[in-house]
Amino acid sequence: MDHFLYRDGVLHAEDVPVADIAAEVGTPFYVYSTATLLRHFRLFDEALEGMDHLVCYAMKANSNQAVLRTLAEAGAGMDVVSGGEYRRARAAGVPGDRIVFSGVGKTADEIRIALEGGIRQFNVESEPEMILLDFIAREMGVRAPITIRVNPDVDAKTHAKIATGKSENKFGIPIARARDVYRMAAEMPGLEIIGVDVHIGSQLTELAPYELAYQKVAELTEQLRADGHTITRLDLGGGLGIPYERTNADPPLPSDYGALVKRTLGHLGCEIEIEPGRLIAGNAGLMVTQVIYVKSGEGRDFLILDGAMNDLIRPAMYDAYHDIIPVVEPEPGFEPHPYDIVGPVCESGDTFAKQRPMPPLKAGELVAFRSAGAYGAVMSSEYNSRPLIPEVLVKDDQFAVIRPRPTFDEMINRDTIPEWL
């Protein structure tokens, strides 16, 4: 469920007509719903009710400060994967003891920043990272709290570019070697072992891969405890998918996922951390864009939009589907027309959909890309010297620009010309 609905024939974001936002900020732009963000966070929180737990929002999905502050004030922790994300979380008011640091390539500077500012735990991905973390922690006179990310060799049955739990993926330590690596960590005075971490991928649409992975984690936890390690926390990652395309087989609900966690891991008495990102932010956002031209080609018609692959790269990068709807509700009984829906970037890859049935549209009309709140703005770029597009947050009948569109001068003047030119 989201809070983007037609009222009186016009698409609204909560109680705000989307066309009113377009008139004020121009197109294209992203718009996020506070009510949807909070609803999806609470679904996860409620799914784990009865267990000691913390829902850490995976902020790589959408790291705007206003989004982070909204979720933090609701009780969310944060999962970060870079020093920049750590700084963003702290700037949004998230205390260090509610921030989990993930990622395969933590640098020495990033580790120091987190140890100085406070951290809930590092999710360690490799032996070399563990050695560096121990060295820096001892140098600073502290102990770094860690979980070790294990790779359970489980096929998440998702897109190859976002699968992270198979043996050929770059993430984590093979679960078969985990006991040896924990033994190594226990001998390092700069480290404090607190738990186990696992994350098998993103946009999972069934629970079976989770069940297999969590059964392996449960078995490993009991083995580690038998080896003398204190395991009090299980970080289970995120990855539950959202229904980009409405089908009869939509992804499982957070309540189903929570029941699985309780069934497979509840007997261990551990604190549970989960790190959802896409399911919290994805359906909470739209990208709104305007039709520039309707072009007739050889055997097909094109809708050429002012939004492009640099603004929303998921279709070009992942062949991802987004539902695309007109901002003005079509008349009942309209005859759909197939369009190739494309942007103005000088690449054939700048294609959002091919032969998509749509209501007949004209230049100047607005369309909205649904489920664009995750991995939209955060993955955008200035390719073709197109300025980053604004982000807008709606709450009830109010809206605010939470990241403005830079001017062309601001964009160009970030470059510097050497004295010899």
Query: Are 353 and 298 contacting, i.e. CB atoms less than 8 angstroms apart?
Result: no
Instruction: Classify residue 396 by its DSSP letter.
Output: T
Could you say which of 1, 160, 226, 346 is catalytic? 346
**CB-CB neighbours of 108 under 10 Å:** 12
CA angle 278, 317, 285 (to 5 degrees): 35
* Residue whose tokens read 């990855």: 239
CA 417 to chain centre: 36
Residue 159 exposed, middle or buried by CB count within 10 Å (0-12, 13-18, 19+): middle
The tokens describing 417, both together, are: 């010309």
Report the alpha-carbon distance of residue 92 to residue 102 in Å, rounded. Answer: 19
270 is catalytic: no
* Residue whose tokens read 């999962």: 79
Phi-psi region of 375 (alpha: psi -120 to 50; beta: other; left: phi over 0): left
The tokens describing 92, both together, are: 């949004």
Phi-psi region of 78 (alpha: psi -120 to 50; beta: other; left: phi over 0): beta
Report the alpha-carbon distance of residue 391 to residue 405 in Å, rounded. Answer: 8
Q: Which residue intervals of 274-373 are DSSP H helices? A: 278-281, 314-318
Query: Are 11 and 4 contacting, i.e. CB atoms less than 8 angstroms apart?
Result: yes
The tokens describing 406, both together, are: 């830079």
Report the alpha-carbon distance of residue 400 to residue 394 in Å, rounded. Answer: 7
For 16, residues 6+ apart whose C-beta sits below 8 A from its C-beta are 394, 397, 398, 399
Q: Which residues are catalytic?
A: 346
